A and B are shown apart, each in its own frame.
Chain A
Amino acid sequence: GAGVSQSPRYKVAKRGQDVALRCDPISGHVSLFWYQQALGQGPEFLTYFQNEAQLDKSGLPSDRFFAERPEGSVSTLKIQRTQQEDSAVYLCASSLVGQVGYEQYFGPGTRLTVT
């Protein structure tokens, strides 16, 4: 079946621009996660949704980062006034249920480069 998809795959933004990154989770998956992965590092948690509810946003680095999942399916991660330090791969993952301990399935990521 279809996996997690993300768009765009690559995004170049000038410093100060706003960007929106889209994630389509696996159909029927309750949980959705956003991670940020810098080059040579492991993923760093940003935020977590259970259906449309954003239950944890403790990893968002600043108030320039905003995520939503209004209908409990597709999610958008928005970054306002991008800075060079925002350059990274943004990974989306989904999980079938809301309980802890279930594997997360990842999309291919969006590579954001801020110039």
Chain B
Amino acid sequence: AQKVTQAQTEISVVEKEDVTLDCVYETRDTTYYLFWYKQPPSGELVFLIRRNSFDEQNEISGRYSWNFQKSTSSFNFTITASQVVDSAVYFCALSELYSGNNRKLIWGLGTSLAVNP
């Protein structure tokens, strides 16, 4: 069955520290998609990145970077030089190709990141 595990419930760092949020997934399919979303205190989920199962290249976008490793079924997210505005709950999610009419995202429980000044 498909499943997303975010083992870190809460992380607290001091501004300018680097922080890595872990995501481990389970799926039976060979074709699938992984996502990261940010949910700031305002509540609105913000899309950050999508990655398909055939693209294992790491991605960097400004201070954000993602490390996708199929061998360990992980899709980890690193924030470099964290800032207070990065404080939010971060969700990892999974979608499978061969799911019929099912287009739903399977979500982890989220990691609450607090960046302190």
Interface residues of A (CB under 8 A from B): 31, 33, 41-45, 48, 50, 55-56, 58-59, 89, 91, 93, 95, 98, 100-109
**Which size class do B's interface residues fall under?**
20 to 34
Tell me the B residues contacting A by CB distance below 8 Å. 33, 35, 37, 42-47, 50, 52, 91, 93, 95-97, 99, 101-105, 107-110
The interface residues of chain B lying within 8 Å CB-to-CB of A101 are: 33, 50, 52, 95, 97
Q: How far is the CA of A43 from the CA of B92 in the complex (A)?
A: 11
Docked Cα-Cα span, A56 to B101, in Å, equals 6
- Residues on B with C-beta less than 8 A from A105 are 47
- In the assembly, what is the distance between CA of A111 and CA of B104, in Å? 21
A31 to B45 CA separation, bound complex (whole angstroms): 17
Evaluate contact between A100 and B50: CB separation under 8 angstroms: no
Instruction: Report the Cα distance A56→B103, complex, angstroms.
Output: 8
When distances are taken between beta carbons in the complex, the residues of chain A under 8 Å from B99 are 100
The answer to whether B109 and A42 touch across the interface, beta carbons within 8 angstroms, is: yes
Q: What's the nearest-Cβ distance from chain B to residue A87, in Å? A: 15
Contact A98 B44 (CB under 8 A): no
| Cβ–Cβ contact A100 & B44, under 8 A | no
Contact B95 A89 (CB under 8 A): no
Residues of A within 8 A of B105 (CB): 33, 43, 45, 104
Q: Which residue of B lies closest to A4 (CB)?
A: B44
Query: Which residues of B sit under 8 angstroms from A55, Cβ to Cβ?
Result: 101, 103
In angstroms, Cα B1 to Cα A4, docked, is 31
- CB <8 Å contact, A48 and B103: yes
Whether A100 lies near B103 (C-beta < 8 A) is: yes
In the complex, are the beta carbons of B44 and A33 less than 8 A apart?
no
Contact A42 B107 (CB under 8 A): yes
Q: How far is the CB of A50 from chain B (nearest CB, A)?
A: 8
Are A48 and B47 in touch, CB under 8 angstroms?
no
A4–B89 Cα distance when bound, in Å, is 20
On chain B, the residues within 8 Å of A43 by CB distance are: 45, 91, 105, 107
Choose from A56, A91, A95 the contact partner of B102 (Cβ within 8 Å). A56
CA distance A29 to B96 in the complex (A): 20
Complex alpha-carbon distance, A107 and B43, angstroms:
9
In the complex, the answer to whether A107 meets B97 with C-beta atoms within 8 Å is no
